[in-house]
Amino acid sequence: MMNPKRVWNFSAGPSMLPLEVLEQAQQEFVCYGSSGMSVMEMSHRSKDFANILEQAKNDLRDLMHIPENYHILFLQGGGSTQFAMIPLNLMYKNGCADYVITGQWAKKAAEEAKRYGTVNIVASSADTNFDRIPQLDETKFSKNADYFYITLNNTIYGTRYTTLPNTGDIPLVGDMSSSILSEEIDITKFGLLFAGAQKNLGPAGVTVAIVRDDLLGHAKPYTPTMLDYAIHAKNDSLYNTPPTYSIYFLGKVLQWVKAQGGVKAMQQKNEEKAALLYNFLDNSKLFYGTVVKEHRSLMNIPFITPDDETNAIFLKEAQQNGFVNLKGHRSVGGMRASIYNAMPKEGVSDLVDFMRDFETKHL
Ligand SMILES: *Cc1c(COP(=O)(O)O)cnc(C)c1O
């Protein structure tokens, strides 16, 4: 292991960060550049912070190939606040939207949207405990929807979209909280994308929203100022004090992703990491995956053994051996390994070795 005191942390979020980034931030913690102060102590209107914000925005634009007609916003309130901001800002033509229910985050987003308009559930995989992305029937899509909402990667259940729904002129809105920068994506297919930082981008406290400019400026009249995308776009994410340290740290993570070779290289590495664990699960006589093959996530991999007692013993022994936060979400049970960008291949291969040994002992 790279650092004897650090464990392999498989937390779903907040989650592991690249060690190099933690160490760089540590070096700059007390004095940033020539400023004589910590980034935490800086005015958000200072030149130093303006540069940090601008650089982070440019790097994200480069990494994700975000066209000029999309605004990049750094917001607060987590992914969950987006569940309200989206209907408040986007339900402006007909007051209705289509949602696909692929798990608890999609369900929460739909519930929140119902407070502001009509929500059509066009498909759901609830009947199979969200072990797949449901089949989408385009004839069921609403012709008058103001937007069409999907959760690209389902953190709890370990599923992901491998093809995007074709929604024509209706803006596609995507929650990318647990998959941003993990694989290449065509931004132009979306009207709006968002991601809380604490899974693949940095520490908790900042949420990135990428919004096409024609979708700005239509917020419902009663929308709180702070929940209006147009206000944040007009003020370049500086309408009020943004989460300055989280943005600084996110910027460092973006530079790290660039140094790794960008999103394409990340995707390749993520596919290799996921394949290590899935191949093991597919051949194991003790452990098995809970998701249909064609919708398996690259980021969150749930797995179980045949009984709760073995699951509990596994989790305990894993913890003792430096593999932590592997407990699955209570709605799936068993285990879940979250292997975001910052998890090196070595962490996954160490886990697979440990699981192989455990299997030998317990079969
Ligand atoms: C974690 C997560 C959220 C919620 O994020 P918060 O920042 O805790 O509000 C929403 N959607 C997905 C897919 C997530 O993984």
Portion of the chain with pLDDT greater than 90, in percent: 97
Residue nearest to atom 12 of ligand 1 (CA): 177
Asked about 127 being catalytic, the answer comes back as no
Q: Which two tokens stand for residue 219?
A: 């917020």
Strand segments, DSSP code E, in 86-236 are: 96-101, 118-124, 148-151, 153-154, 159-160, 172-175, 192-196, 207-212
**Tens of pLDDT, residues 189-232:** 999 999 999 999 999 999 999 999 999 999 999 999 999 999 99
Ligand 1: centre distance to CA 81 (Å): 9
Does residue 3 have a pLDDT over 60? no
pLDDT at position 52 is 98
Mutation test residue for ligand 1: of 86, 100, 105, the one with most atoms within 8 Å of CB: 105
d(CA 174, CA 172): 7
pLDDT at position 4 is 61
Ligand 1 atom at minimal distance to the Cα of residue 103: 13
Find the catalytic residue in 98, 105, 131, 273.
105
Please tell me whether residue 210 adopts helix, strand or coil conformation: strand
Mean pLDDT value across the chain: 97
Phi, psi of 339 (to 5 degrees): -125, 70
pLDDT at position 20 is 97
Ligand 1: centre distance to CA 177 (Å): 6
| Contact by Cβ (8 Å): 78, 14 | no
| Contact by Cβ (8 Å): 300, 338 | yes
Q: Which run of H or E residues covers position 187?
A: none
Give the CA dihedral 247, 249, 252, 257, nearest 10 degrees.
Answer: -90
**Tens of pLDDT, residues 306-330:** 999 999 999 999 999 999 999 999 8
Portion of the chain with pLDDT greater than 70, in percent: 99
Residue nearest to atom 13 of ligand 1 (CA): 177
Residue nearest to atom 2 of ligand 1 (CA): 177
| Contact by Cβ (8 Å): 152, 177 | no
Asked about 175 being catalytic, the answer comes back as yes
Find the catalytic residue in 57, 199, 252, 327.
199
Ligand 1 atom at minimal distance to the Cα of residue 156: 15
Asked about 345 being catalytic, the answer comes back as no
Residue nearest to atom 3 of ligand 1 (CA): 79
Question: Residue 170 contacts by C-beta under 8 Å, 6 or more apart in sequence?
Answer: 98, 141, 145, 146, 147, 148
pLDDT at position 331 is 86
Residue whose token pair is 């606040």: 81
**Order of all β-strands in the sheet with 70-75:** 70-75, 207-212, 192-196, 172-175, 148-151, 96-101, 118-124
pLDDT at position 5 is 83
The 10 Å Cβ neighbour count of residue 133 is: 26
Mutation test residue for ligand 1: of 155, 192, 298, the one with most atoms within 8 Å of CB: 155
Find the catalytic residue in 59, 175, 228, 252.
175
**DSSP output for 62-107:** HHHT--TTEEEEEESSHHHHHHHHHHHHH--SSSEEEEEE-SHHHH
pLDDT at position 2 is 53
Ligand 1: centre distance to CA 196 (Å): 6
**Tens of pLDDT, residues 123-175:** 999 999 999 999 999 999 999 999 999 999 999 999 999 999 999 999 999 99
How far are the Cα atoms of 140, 160, 196, 226, 350 from residue 179, in angstroms, in the given order? 27, 9, 10, 26, 23
| Contact by Cβ (8 Å): 196, 207 | yes
**Which protein residues touch ligand 1 with a CB less than 6 Å away?**
13, 78-80, 105, 151, 155, 175, 177-178, 196, 199
Residue nearest to atom 14 of ligand 1 (CA): 177
